[in-house]
A and B are shown apart, each in its own frame.
Chain A
Amino acid sequence: MFIQQVINGLAMGCIYGLVALGFVLIYKATEIINFGQGDLMMIGAFLAFTCVNFLHLPFLLSLLIALVLMGFLGKIIDRFVLRPLVGEPAFAMVMATIAIGILLRSLGGMIWGYDTYKFSAGITDVPVRIGSWAVSSVNLWIMAITVLLIIVLYFFFNKTKAGVSMEAASQNQLAAYLMGIGVKKVFSNIWGISAMVAAVAGILLTPIQFLNYNMGFIGLKAFPAAVLGGFGSIPGAIVGGIIIGISESLAGIYLPRGFKEVFAWVILILVLMIRPEGLFGIHQKKRV
């Protein structure tokens, strides 16, 4: 049972990690925490669902349409909500992202209703057996795609000019601007990318958790994963997610009732006490 629970936790952890990735991307470039990330995920999944179930398009085309639309949505949010707030206190920006989340959730409910839907196109939920242990095929897909995304994003941020300029914009907006980096464009792009990652996470999640207007609440669990990994570190997000997933899964079995729900936060507090910058965080010092 122990190993089965670890496998379950690993699967769940990858989901947290995938959602946390969206948090990390936006934070890395803009130093804003986007609390609407979970709701972006819901919108992305519903867009793909609409393409498949109502427009009767093939799954891959639907996925592509959803990604493009989400990219635009991300850019629109950046242009009309966050850009006017540049220079305002971080508090205002955070409040704005919370508002975006609530707005998207309400819009989702208005457009697609408050029902739960099954979205079985593309990836299906089939039990896969490894020896005497079992895991859902969806979880394997999630693990594979998450690893792929991490590799792609890691290279993007470290090896490409666009990625490095994002990193630069994150460290010092003014200096980056003076060095000829289009900070506005960088921010706009990162919102687009982050919304696309959210759509991928949403579509991957639906076979096991179904489509519902409030599925974005999983963002609440992904948030400690991002903090745990050191907000701003891409591999950190996924490791943080896995740690939370596994410990939660084991807490559900071996600890008294009720611990499962709070365990993510217990770990978070412990890690922050010992290593406040998170597991993979780099201790940054800003010179005056």
Chain B
Amino acid sequence: MILQKQILAAKREKLQRSSLATTSQREEKMVLQKKILAAIMAIVCLFILGVSFSWAEDGVSNTEVKIGATVDLSGPIAFMGKGVTDGAKLYFQYINDQGGVYGRKINFLMEDDGYQSPRAVQGAKKLITRDKVFCMFMILGSAQVNAMYPLMEADGIPIVAPATQNQDMGVPPRKFLFLADTHYTAQGKLAIEYIVETMGEKKPKIASIFQDDTPGHDWRNGVRHGAKYYGLEVLELPYKRGAVDFSSQMAKSKEAGITHILVWSLVREPAILMKEAQRLQYKPTYFYANPSINKKVLELAGDALTYNNKVYATNIMIDPYRDKTPAVQLFEKNSAKYKMATIENSYNTYGYQAAITLVEGLKRAGKDLTRQGLINALETFNKYDNGMMAPITWGPNLRAGGHSIKVFQAKEGDWHAITPGWVFSKIPD
């Protein structure tokens, strides 16, 4: 019995030993496999690193540069989002057919944000992590830009020419954000300056009507600044977004003997307030900010315009119907050729000119395109005139590009430029 047990124990031991031997062999084999895998991975990594070193930057290859944008394509201002991107696409199409920028075709990628900042941030994340865009362009809305800026700053991605005129896009300057348009504060200041200097009204009685939010406040601040410079008082009459009743604002203006009403509003409000003035038999001079430069405004106002035609506005773009600059002529040629975008749609022309500005930056950045290179190139813009927009000046510590306006007047059912050149301000900031 004891012997049997001993034999069994010995057998067991032998079995265990052999199994031990096989596990150690297996382990050795696995270690070898792992080593080979690591070596392959190291080679792949080196290869990837090598590739990325040779291209240096995300979104740039020898044949392509990726540009990202978040715009509203399905929400309340979808018509704007579609309008501006259609215009930009037209110019990019033209540039690509010319062979691109240094042989790189522009690949324009858009994300729909429904005019909501959280969705804009999601879209931007997708564009920078999955699509790996080189830079951002034409983001519609300043809230959207502000929401995604930390992401861009962390990765060093420039945002060029956002489709907004809010002052905080350019002042104070932020390294990666390049505002091309003349912001509302500058526009408000220039409006007062035009009234006093060019119209020769030495003591105008000024009221400022504005939407009670960021763009409206920008305009109000500009008007305040200009008025302070000339020693004028301003009657400030804000209204809430979506307001349809302007009776108290107009009654107050009439009571105070206001001669010039400076307004930041959109499309519907000018018509309502001019009709209200007509009802009160009150004929002030109106000065609007650029969002109201729209044929629709005049169409809606109807006979209130024939009642009082002293209606002016500050514009940041040229009049494409009558001012046929080479850029406008090229737009018309491209528009006919590619059957995209029309000159009647001001959002199309706006998007188109922003694309010209971006392409100029890419050209100036040179053949070896890097993000820092683009930033350096944009900082060389000195009164750069793209043929459609107020001249752009950026610099090492200057990010608000536009500094001038054209004054438009409502005549014969349309807006006409009445200043031949661009009007710059003499009032210090």
CA distance A214 to B266 in the complex (A): 15
Q: Take A4-B251, A114-B77, A253-B248 as given contacts and tell me if A210 and B302 are in contact as well, using a CB distance cutoff of 8 Å.
A: no
Answer yes or no: A172 CB below 8 A from chain B CBs. no
Q: Take A127-B278, A257-B238 as given contacts and tell me if A113 and B79 are in contact as well, using a CB distance cutoff of 8 Å.
A: yes
CA distance A12 to B303 in the complex (A): 21
CA distance A53 to B14 in the complex (A): 99
CA distance A193 to B281 in the complex (A): 39
* Contact between B280 and A4, CB atoms less than 8 A apart: yes
Q: Of the candidates B248, B252, B296, B302, which one forms a contact with A115 in the assembled complex, judged by CB atoms under 8 Å apart?
A: B296
* Contact between A214 and B79, CB atoms less than 8 A apart: no
Answer yes or no: A120 CB below 8 A from chain B CBs. yes
* Contact between A115 and B79, CB atoms less than 8 A apart: yes
Interface size counted on chain A using CB atoms at 8 A: 33
Residues of A within 8 A of B249 (CB): 252
CA distance A134 to B77 in the complex (A): 36
Q: Of the candidates B237, B280, B299, which one forms a contact with A118 in the assembled complex, judged by CB atoms under 8 Å apart?
A: B299
Q: Of the candidates B78, B242, B247, which one forms a contact with A114 in the assembled complex, judged by CB atoms under 8 Å apart?
A: B78
Residues of B within 8 A of A134 (CB): 279-281
* Contact between B272 and A209, CB atoms less than 8 A apart: yes
Answer yes or no: A8 CB below 8 A from chain B CBs. yes
Residues of B within 8 A of A217 (CB): 242
* Contact between B268 and A210, CB atoms less than 8 A apart: yes
Residues of B within 8 A of A218 (CB): 244
Min C-beta distance of B277 to chain A, whole Å: 10
* Contact between A212 and B268, CB atoms less than 8 A apart: yes
- Please provide the chain A residues from 70 to 90 with a CB less than 8 Å away from any CB of chain B in the complex: none
Answer yes or no: B412 CB below 8 A from chain A CBs. no
Min C-beta distance of B181 to chain A, whole Å: 22
Answer yes or no: A194 CB below 8 A from chain B CBs. no
Closest-by-CB residue of A relative to B301 is: A118
CA distance A218 to B244 in the complex (A): 9
Closest-by-CB residue of B relative to A135 is: B279
CA distance A198 to B76 in the complex (A): 23
- Please provide the chain B residues from 162 to 206 with a CB less than 8 Å away from any CB of chain A in the complex: none
Q: Of the candidates B248, B296, B300, B303, which one forms a contact with A5 in the assembled complex, judged by CB atoms under 8 Å apart?
A: B248
CA distance A210 to B249 in the complex (A): 19
Min C-beta distance of B304 to chain A, whole Å: 9
Q: Take A116-B296, A210-B300 as given contacts and tell me if A1 and B255 are in contact as well, using a CB distance cutoff of 8 Å.
A: yes
CA distance A212 to B281 in the complex (A): 27
* Contact between B251 and A120, CB atoms less than 8 A apart: no
Residues of B within 8 A of A260 (CB): 248
Binary contact track A205-235/B, C-beta < 8 Å → 1, others 0 = 0001110101001100000000000000000
* Contact between A12 and B247, CB atoms less than 8 A apart: yes
Closest-by-CB residue of A relative to B300 is: A118
Answer yes or no: B271 CB below 8 A from chain A CBs. yes
Q: What are 14 A-B interface contacts by the 8 Å CB criterion?
A: A5-B248, A9-B247, A114-B77, A114-B78, A114-B79, A118-B299, A126-B303, A127-B279, A135-B279, A209-B244, A210-B271, A210-B300, A257-B236, A261-B243
Residues of B bordering A, CB below 8 Å: 76-79, 236-238, 240, 242-245, 247-249, 251-252, 255, 267-268, 271-272, 275, 278-281, 296, 299-300, 302-303
